Structure 1
Amino acid sequence: MVAMAIGGFGIGTGEFVIMGLLPEVAQDIGITIPQAGHVISAYALGVVIGAPLLAVLAAGWPRRRLLVALMIFYALGNFASAMAPSYLTLNLLRFVAGLPHGTYFGVAALVAASLVEPWRRAQAVGWVMLGLTTATLVGVPIATWLGEVFGWRAAFALVGVISVLAAVMVQREVPDQPADHRASPMRELGALRRKQVWLTLGIGAIGLGGLFSVFSYIKPTLIEVAGMNASLVPAVLALFGCGMIVGNLAGSRLADKALIPTIGGLLVWAFVVLGAFVFTAHHPWLAAINVFLVGTIVAMGPTLQIRLMDVAGDAQTLAAALNHSAFNMANALGAWLGGLSIAAGMGYPSTGWVGALLAVAGLGVFAWSVSAARKEKAAAA
């Protein structure tokens, strides 16, 4: 699990480090900062497309070999990004680097769940996801510092090195699991015929959007609304990373005890925490505490991962990988709607209202899922 978490650490660092290096990228290749931001979208698009595509194409692969191949793929994508000569090339290479992201986490979650007792599955998935959440606290600050001192290309080179290390560790430590002889692309695509798979993905894509609605604009909110000194912002971002780690561990434990109530409870928690941000955003210390609490919402990640495993039937790989496509769709949706509310003149704190409304919408999808499951169970009986 530690070996697979190192891979998650590398992927998390590679995904988020660019957000702190946009000025350096823009200056180096002669573009504006908003244009540099397009490389974030290119990566997210790669995740959304790559997760189902690679999961289906590699359905018959032994899982350890697939994990190693995905990490090598990710390493090459980041090494190539570090050498990108132009704006268009960098966007293309970030898209390519994003392709293995979702499939890696999906397959790693399946492997982790298979290594423990059934009642500890969510905790096992949480340990793998811990690499991603730890990256926001440790990996991203280190890579950002490296990028500021030696140039943004050094940050991507570091991610490539971490990915190579992860590939070696996975090959050495992860048990070899033979491929399911019945696995095929068509069987994996069968997951898309299951209503509960789509509803679970909808809970993540909508319900998690509020986290990104607030976090995408957290720096200007803290400085312009809360009146916080810019030098303190990194400390608040570290609090967000701490919140993600706490949420990941606590949420996975709760999910092992009662999965469905945990999902519903986390959506209610998201509504409360995000709604509170509207009011705490005006006070530096209250805002900092609230940012920590917003980070805990990431607990929905491992809980929804387990739910997808339960409802996917024999199409486990595709369903598990799609969880991270939903995660990135939540990122895009939350940031877009938060930007709309700010552009409409409602101010930076309004991103909290956007997040609260997305949590309510996620609760609506969750209620639909629970109701549909009850009807399916009654019909079967």
Structure 2
Amino acid sequence: MPEPSLRPPEAPMPWALLAACCLAMFAASCSGTTRAPFLIEMARDLSSTLPLVANLMALTSIAWGAASLIAGAGSDRWGRRPFLIGGPVLLALCLVGMSSGTSYVAVAVWAMLAGACAGAFTGTIMAEASTRVQPGQRGRALGWIMAGQSLALLLGVPLAAWIGEALGWRGVTRTVAAIAMLAALALLATTLRPAGSAPHARGAGVSYRKAMSGPVLRLLAMGVAERVCYGLMAVYFASFLQTSYALTLGTLALPLALFALGNIAGTIVGGQMADRLPNRLLIFAAAMAGAALLALPLFGWTPSLAVSVGLGFAYVLVNALARPSLMASLASVPEEVRGTVLGLNVTSASFGWLGAAALGGWMLARQGFWGFGPLACGIGLLGAALAILRRK
């Protein structure tokens, strides 16, 4: 009688490290998103205009993507701990400098530097977590880390508004700096034990050409499509509800909280699917196709606020199912280029955000919000097609 095949038990997940990475991602995201409630106050304080202050997000995004491109390769060459710990510390210092700025130019410079510091470690923590878990655990691990971005929307922005009533935008910025320092200490404590990669794997022969070999370029293009589809909602959903239903800022709180909850649920469930189902690219394709179909009624059918909020929740949840599978696929590259590849992923994601803002603004001017449905549907189906065309 043949002996039954035994599946080796999974190693325990490094929950302390994942919590530290999630906190670091929360701090990085809060460094930009928590400015949203204070744009008018900042414009008045800095003797500037609202559009100029709003453009600080674009400056931050550009610096974030550029720094991630450099830091990813640097972490493969010199090790990840300098970026994991130094990035949040420098982010905290830049936020303190930003909170002390007395002119728009000074605040803009500090905001760009803060974005660069955030970009120095957001891709690196993904690479570090991928190294410290088994390949079959990467979807779940990265899903938990990415939930830190959604927590910045669910908890960070409302708490910033509450704290800002007493301390203003400068006090909120210093509070985020304190969170970044706490994240640095947590990462310092949870990375004392070296990762299991061989020391000689880093340094020799690391290049962008080597990192972009195989399917990586296609995966990055899929990531841009996913970020554009998500960014259209993240940037314009509040304005869509205000325009369609004449909502006030106060009544937007619950719909935006449900939006963030949908994103958190999607990343967590998507992480489970990425580790338990056999083909991650098919998961990505199915999620992107599902979100594409939901985009059509979301922006083109507005019978009631409850229906629009429900469709928005479903859209962002289904869209978020795709992200952990994509990240786990990107993390499956060889260890010596993993930091470079995941750094490139953050850079490409910043292009996705900029594309969402630009394409959304263009469509809003030409067709109004009605045009967002076909736009998001087309980009979502393009992302799904990229995943299906070559599944190997």
TM-score, normalised to structure 1, is 0.90
Shift of 1:263: 1.0
Shift of 1:264: 0.8
Partner of 2:77, secondary structure, is coil
Once structures 1 and 2 are overlaid, which stretch shifts more, 88-97 or 103-112?
103-112
The answer as to whether partners of 2:286 and 2:384 remain within 8 angstroms in 1 is no
Query: Hey, what does 1:379 align to over in structure 2?
Result: none
Is residue 141 of structure 2 the alignment partner of residue 124 of structure 1?
yes
Is residue 201 of structure 2 the alignment partner of residue 201 of structure 1?
no
Query: Hey, what does 2:15 align to over in structure 1?
Result: none
User: Aligned AA for 1:357?
Assistant: G
Once structures 1 and 2 are overlaid, which stretch shifts more, 323-332 or 234-243?
323-332
Deviations 1:51-102 (A, max 9, x none): 0112223433343343111111221221121112221222222111111334
User: Aligned AA for 2:307?
Assistant: L
Shift of 1:225: 0.9
Query: Hey, what does 2:361 align to over in structure 1?
Result: 339
| 348, 360, 363: which one aligns with 2:384 | 363
Q: Distance in 2 between matches of 1:130 and 1:326?
A: 19
Shift of 1:200: 0.7
Query: Hey, what does 1:266 align to over in structure 2?
Result: 287
The 5-angstrom pairing of residues 240-251 of structure 1 reads 240-251=259-270
User: Aligned AA for 2:222?
Assistant: I
Is residue 191 of structure 2 the alignment partner of residue 169 of structure 1?
no
Query: Hey, what does 1:145 align to over in structure 2?
Result: 162
Q: Distance in 2 between matches of 1:254 and 1:272?
A: 21
Query: Hey, what does 2:315 align to over in structure 1?
Result: 294
Partner of 2:215, secondary structure, is helix
Query: Hey, what does 1:23 align to over in structure 2?
Result: 40
Query: Hey, what does 1:377 align to over in structure 2?
Result: none
User: Aligned AA for 1:216?
Assistant: V
The answer as to whether partners of 1:188 and 1:314 remain within 8 angstroms in 2 is no
Query: Hey, what does 2:126 align to over in structure 1?
Result: 109
* CA spacing shift, 1:149–1:289, aligned 2, 3 Å: farther
User: Aligned AA for 2:171?
Assistant: A
Unpaired runs of 5+ residues, structure 1, are: 374-381
User: Aligned AA for 1:335?
Assistant: A
Q: Distance in 1 between matches of 2:333 and 2:235?
A: 32
Moved over 6 A (4+): none
Partner of 2:62, secondary structure, is helix
| 342, 359, 371: which one aligns with 1:320 | 342
Unpaired runs of 5+ residues, structure 2, are: 1-17
Q: Distance in 2 between matches of 1:263 and 1:60?
A: 31
The answer as to whether partners of 2:75 and 2:340 remain within 8 angstroms in 1 is no
The answer as to whether partners of 1:266 and 1:300 remain within 8 angstroms in 2 is yes
Q: Distance in 2 between matches of 1:195 and 1:226?
A: 48
TM-score, normalised to structure 2, is 0.88
Q: Distance in 1 between matches of 2:151 and 2:346?
A: 17
* CA spacing shift, 1:117–1:56, aligned 2, 3 Å: closer
* CA spacing shift, 1:139–1:234, aligned 2, 3 Å: same
Q: Distance in 1 between matches of 2:274 and 2:385?
A: 20
User: Aligned AA for 1:36?
Assistant: V
Q: Distance in 1 between matches of 2:300 and 2:365?
A: 19
Deviations 1:258-280 (A, max 9, x none): 31211111111220222221234
* CA spacing shift, 1:253–1:113, aligned 2, 3 Å: same
Query: Hey, what does 1:352 align to over in structure 2?
Result: 373
Q: Distance in 2 between matches of 1:60 and 1:176?
A: 19
Deviations 1:101-128 (A, max 9, x none): 3442322222223333321111011122
Q: Distance in 2 between matches of 1:71 and 1:242?
A: 26
Alignment RMSD (CA, Å)? 2.1
Shift of 1:8: 1.1
The answer as to whether partners of 1:196 and 1:311 remain within 8 angstroms in 2 is no
Q: Distance in 2 between matches of 1:313 and 1:150?
A: 45
The answer as to whether partners of 1:63 and 1:111 remain within 8 angstroms in 2 is yes
Deviations 1:117-176 (A, max 9, x none): 321111011122222221211112112332344221122111110000011111122343
Shift of 1:185: 7.6
Query: Hey, what does 2:107 align to over in structure 1?
Result: 90
Partner of 2:33, secondary structure, is helix
* CA spacing shift, 1:282–1:184, aligned 2, 3 Å: farther
The 5-angstrom pairing of residues 7-18 of structure 1 reads 7-18=24-35
Q: Distance in 2 between matches of 1:175 and 1:300?
A: 32
Is residue 2 of structure 2 the alignment partner of residue 5 of structure 1?
no
Query: Hey, what does 1:378 align to over in structure 2?
Result: none
Q: Distance in 2 between matches of 1:312 and 1:347?
A: 45
